[in-house]
Each structure stands twice: as structure tokens, then as C-alpha cells.
Chains A and B, each alone.
Chain A
Amino acid sequence: MNINGVLIEDTFAEAFTMRVARLVITARSPKWARAAAEKLTGFATSVIGCKCEAGIERDLAPSETPDGRPGVSVLFLTMDKESLPQQLIVRLGQTVLTCPTTACFDGLPDAPDRLAVGKALRVFGDGFQASKIIGGRRYWRIPVMEGEFLVEEMFGMQKGVGGGNFLILAEDADAALAAAEAAVDAMTGRPGVILPFPGGVVRSGSKVGSRRYKQMIATTNDAFAPTLRALVASQLPAGVNSVLEIVLDGTDAPAIAAAMRAGIRAACRPGVRAISAGNYGGKLGPHHFHLRQIVA
């Protein structure tokens, strides 16, 4: 299969079930909502080293937020149920609570599993905090030097999908980057999906474990590293000299598939030889995104 002369390899991306929460951060202006969201989702590229994966899902208009202010929707994922509230409490407390004018609301009110995030953060109020129940949902008012920080008591958690991906195999690094940027532009702002890596792009895709260092749980994906073509069982076609990866996390598989479709189509441009994907033979992750089915 080809799109614009770019080969779509007959392979699939293998993704995992994760736990996801959606946070709605509002502020007096989009600038401050973004400032909080960017700090909150900083250093949250991969569970391998960050223990969580997070990213900005999309900007929200005042009409879309609970308090009628500009906002940002954030998705936050971990591998297990236990670590999601831990990560949220620590990160919200250090980023959103500290950021001027922000408030934070649950973006998954219908999710059956509830995390007591605001309930834990309330103790920052040192006994001066107060709660309000509005429309059946409890909010905590935490007094701070600026005035008050408002945070919802409980946040929803549901199963999500982490590790959707595709690889852009290009003739050179410039072409790979241009294609990756086009793909990210096409995928950004889609509901239910985040791209947790810097600018949405990964240059250092990894394989499980190590050939040489036992303590390493992930090392360079040598099969796709062009400088190692002559040394390892390379999977790079002739003429490919640079590879970039797009990694996607999301609330559900259809959202990931829709974003991958848009991203792959946008990445098929001059200088790109093929689109591939990362998998582990299909034995580790329950979600398989077959590239040719997705773009068909």
C-alpha cells in the first residue's frame, strides 16, 4: 500500500491498557491555563522514566468549561490504578495549585472509578479550607496568598490506551522532521488523544531490555537506528537515513486509531520512504493498530 508514493508497511503498532484521568484546568486567561498545564505535563513522556504519561489534549473555550473561563484539557496516564492518584496529587499540588488564577475540575465525571485528588490536596489549607457541593459535585476552596484555589474533590479514572505509535522512515533528518511536524499538526487537538513527547515527536525509540546492560529496561531501538545499519539486523529499507516516531496515548482505541489515520496521511510527503510501527510481536499489548487497516 502506498500513500503519495510512501510505502505503508504491513505491520502494526502494539499498545497497552493504561489508566487515564482527564483534568480541566481553567484560568483567568488562556495564557495562565496553558502555563499550569505545561508544568503539570512536564517530564511525563514515558512511564519508563517518568512513572506517568501526560499531555495537553486541547484548549477549551469558556463555553466548554465549568466556570466559564478559558481552559485546557489534559490527559494523564499511568500503568496501574494505584499510581495515578499519587502522581496527580503530587503534580497538581506543585503545578496547578501554585499557578495564579487557576482552578481544576474533573474531565471524566461519568467514569466509575473515583480518585480523591482534591480531597487530598485540601489539607494544604491547614484547616481553613472549605467545601461546596454544586450540582451534586463537591469542590474544595483552599485559601492561598492570591485568594482561593478551587479544586474538585474527586476525579474520574477509566481504562485508556498508551503506546499507540508509528515510525516515519525518511531519506534524511530534515524530511523526517518536516513529516513529523505535519503529522503532529494533524493530530493535535483531537479529543481523547495526547502526544506525550516533546513536540509530539520521539527521536529515540526504544526496544525492551538491553543487549549489554542487565539493569536497563529499555535501550536504543538499534533495528531502526541508521548509524547501526551495518552492525545489526537493521529493519531500515535502502535510502532511509533518519527515523522519527510519533507516540500517542488516549482514552480509547478508536480515538488513537483516528488520530493515527490523520497523522500518517499527513506524514506521507516528499522525502519519506515508508511508514512503519513499533510492536513486540503482539504478545505484550492487547491493542494492535494495523497501519494498512487504519489508513484504508
Chain B
Amino acid sequence: MSDAVTLTLAAVPAHPLVADCIAADRFAALAEREIAALPVTHGGRPARLGDFFRVSGGRAATVRIEGDLRLVEGIGTGMAGGELVIEGGVGRDLGVGMAGGRIDVGGDAGENAGGAPPGAARGMTGGEIVIHGSAGPRPGAAARRGLIVIAGSAGPGAGRGMIAGTVVVYGAAGPGAGRFLKRGSIVVLGAVERPATFRYACTYRPPFLPLLFRYLERRYGLATPQGALAGRYARYAGDMAELGKGEILHWVSE
């Protein structure tokens, strides 16, 4: 048993590497050798995690991953607890179907972070994903609960079809943010292209946001622009094509 498991990318994959076996709660029950033997898919062919990563430590629910992971997909799939710290950027499908725990990404994340696995109706149902860079398309798509925070900008379709939960984008959110949103919140500090099916409600100071921003600063070191912490936000209710109980909160002024 060790304090943390460290995965260091030793062989850079030539093709997309699907490593959906990497989840902090799973590693808590596995020894170093067992972790290295976990199955991955490289360019559609089966392989072992140890073929690409040097594994250090075992039986710990805190996992650090080092190296260029832009071609590594599916990290944190279905994770239900523990903590995953990714030093740099990461590929698509980060934390899909995640139910608990924390994923902290130092760089950018690819498409569908916190979203749903192929064919599933629900994305993440709990836990926290914090991306210190930008996110690709559809972060938080179909999420049922949980928190996704993007310090940079988000690609198109942030929170698309979200059932509940929270997506926070410190930068700009691409077109189609919140489309088919049932419940849940999409908080955007930068520019946002809202679907036409969102209706303006009011401009106010949502009291939960200072709580959330202070938590993010304390827990993840994310600094919020001073005026945004307790600032005024325009509330757009939607998606009126769906249940309409969701919202886009767009920062407008101090």
C-alpha cells in the first residue's frame, strides 16, 4: 500500500489509447503489478496498461498521471471515488459516466469530458472534474449530477442535454451551450452563444456562486476574477424545448 499511485507515460502511443481502466477507486484495491496488467486498447488492438505507463505504487485511491496524454482516452470512466490528478492535457471521454471522486486536469481536455459513454442516456452522475485548461466539445453532456469546471474555454455544446449538475466555464462557451438542458446550471464568465430556446429571466447575484467559487479556489487553486465572485449574472432559463428548469448564468458585471 502506498500514498499514491503514479502512472508515468513511458511509451507515447502512436494511435488513440483507450485507457478506461484508469480510475482512482479501482486502483485502491489493486497492487502495482495488477494495475500494470489492466487492459487498454491501442489503435483498436488490445494491450496492457503497463505497455505504455510505468506504474509506481499500488492500493491507493490517489492517482497521479504524468506525460503527454492527449491521445489517451477514457481516463476516469465510471470512477466512483478517490482522486485523479493529471499533470498535463488529456484526450477525449475523460470521466464519462463518473459517479464520484475528483479529477483534476492541469491542461486541456478533449471531447465529451464528464459525458455519457456511447449509447448511454446519462453522463456523469456525481463527482468533480476540474480542467485547468480548455475543454473540447460537449463537456458535461447528459450529466445527471456533478460538477465540471473549465478554467479556459469550452467547445460547442457544453452541458448539452444535461439532466442536472453544474458546468462552470471561466472563459467562453462555444455555440449550443445548454441545448436540450432539462435541469442544472451552466455558468459562463466569458462570451456564450445561447440557443434561441433559452428565455431571459433576470439579472441578479446568485447566492450559491460565491460559495462555489470560494470552494474552487480553496480546493483547486482556481482564482476567480474579483468582480465575478459575487457579481451580477443574467439568468436565462431553458431549454424551453425541454423541461425548462435549467439555466445559463452569464456574468455581466460586478
Cα separation A139 to B166 with both chains bound (whole Å): 13
Q: Which of B145, B204, B219 contacts A135 (CB 8 A)?
A: B219
Q: Do A150 and B211 touch (CB < 8 A)?
A: yes
Shortest Cβ distance from A139 into B: residue: B208
With a 10 A CB-CB cut-off, give which of B204, B211, B215 has the most chain A CB atoms.
Answer: B211
Shortest Cβ distance from B126 into A: residue: A133
Shortest Cβ distance from A101 into B: residue: B207
Q: Which residues of B contact A (CB under 8 A)?
A: 145, 147, 166, 183, 185, 202, 204-208, 210-212, 214-215, 219, 229-230, 245
Whole-angstrom distance between the Cβ of A189 and the nearest chain B Cβ: 25
Cα separation A22 to B7 with both chains bound (whole Å): 44
Which 10 pairs of residues, A with B, have the shortest CB-CB distance? A150-B207, A147-B204, A67-B210, A135-B215, A67-B211, A132-B208, A103-B207, A134-B215, A134-B212, A68-B210
Residue-wise, chain A 57-82 has the 8 Å CB interface mask toward B (1 for contact) of: 00000000011110000000000000
With a 10 A CB-CB cut-off, give which of A134, A147, A150 has the most chain B CB atoms.
Answer: A134
Query: Chain B residues near A139 (CB, 8 Å)?
Result: 208, 211
Q: Do A148 and B245 touch (CB < 8 A)?
A: no
Q: Do A148 and B211 touch (CB < 8 A)?
A: no
Q: Do B147 and A133 touch (CB < 8 A)?
A: yes
Query: Chain B residues near A149 (CB, 8 Å)?
Result: 207
Known contacts A68-B230, A135-B219; 11 further A-B pairs (Cβ under 8 A):
A66-B211, A67-B211, A68-B214, A130-B183, A132-B185, A132-B212, A134-B147, A134-B212, A134-B215, A147-B207, A148-B207
Say yes or no for A261: interface residue by CB 8 A criterion. no
Query: Chain A residues near B230 (CB, 8 Å)?
Result: 68-69
Q: List 7 A-B contacts (CB under 8 A).
A: A69-B230, A103-B207, A130-B245, A141-B206, A147-B204, A149-B207, A150-B207
Shortest Cβ distance from A26 into B: residue: B207
Whole-angstrom distance between the Cβ of B230 and the nearest chain A Cβ: 7
Cα separation A237 to B232 with both chains bound (whole Å): 65
The secondary structure that dominates the A interface is strand
Cα separation A149 to B208 with both chains bound (whole Å): 9
- If A67-B207, A68-B229, A68-B230 touch, whether A132 touches B166 (CB-CB below 8 Å) is yes
Shortest Cβ distance from A147 into B: residue: B204
A interface, size bucket: 10 to 19
Q: Which of A69, A130, A133, A148 contacts B210 (CB 8 A)?
A: A69
Q: Do A134 and B211 touch (CB < 8 A)?
A: yes
Cα separation A94 to B188 with both chains bound (whole Å): 34
With a 10 A CB-CB cut-off, give which of B147, B205, B208, B210 has the most chain A CB atoms.
Answer: B208
Q: Do A148 and B206 touch (CB < 8 A)?
A: yes
Cα separation A28 to B207 with both chains bound (whole Å): 10
Shortest Cβ distance from B213 into A: residue: A68
Q: Do B219 and A150 touch (CB < 8 A)?
A: no
Query: Chain B residues near A133 (CB, 8 Å)?
Result: 145, 147
Whole-angstrom distance between the Cβ of A144 and the nearest chain B Cβ: 11
Whole-angstrom distance between the Cβ of A102 and the nearest chain B Cβ: 9
A residues 104-143 near B (Cβ < 8 Å) are: 128, 130, 132-135, 139, 141
Whole-angstrom distance between the Cβ of B181 and the nearest chain A Cβ: 12
Cα separation A147 to B202 with both chains bound (whole Å): 9
Query: Chain A residues near B166 (CB, 8 Å)?
Result: 132
Q: Which of A134, A141, A147 contacts B205 (CB 8 A)?
A: A147
Query: Chain A residues near B204 (CB, 8 Å)?
Result: 147-148
Query: Chain A residues near B245 (CB, 8 Å)?
Result: 128, 130
Whole-angstrom distance between the Cβ of A247 and the nearest chain B Cβ: 35
Cα separation A128 to B245 with both chains bound (whole Å): 8
Shortest Cβ distance from B218 into A: residue: A135
Q: Do B214 and A67 touch (CB < 8 A)?
A: yes
Cα separation A25 to B145 with both chains bound (whole Å): 27
Q: Which of A128, A130, A135, A141 contacts B207 (CB 8 A)?
A: A141
Query: Chain B residues near A67 (CB, 8 Å)?
Result: 207, 210-211, 214
Shortest Cβ distance from A131 into B: residue: B164
Cα separation A213 to B212 with both chains bound (whole Å): 57
Q: Do B208 and A134 touch (CB < 8 A)?
A: yes
Query: Chain B residues near A150 (CB, 8 Å)?
Result: 207-208, 211
Query: Chain A residues near B202 (CB, 8 Å)?
Result: 147
Cα separation A147 to B147 with both chains bound (whole Å): 23
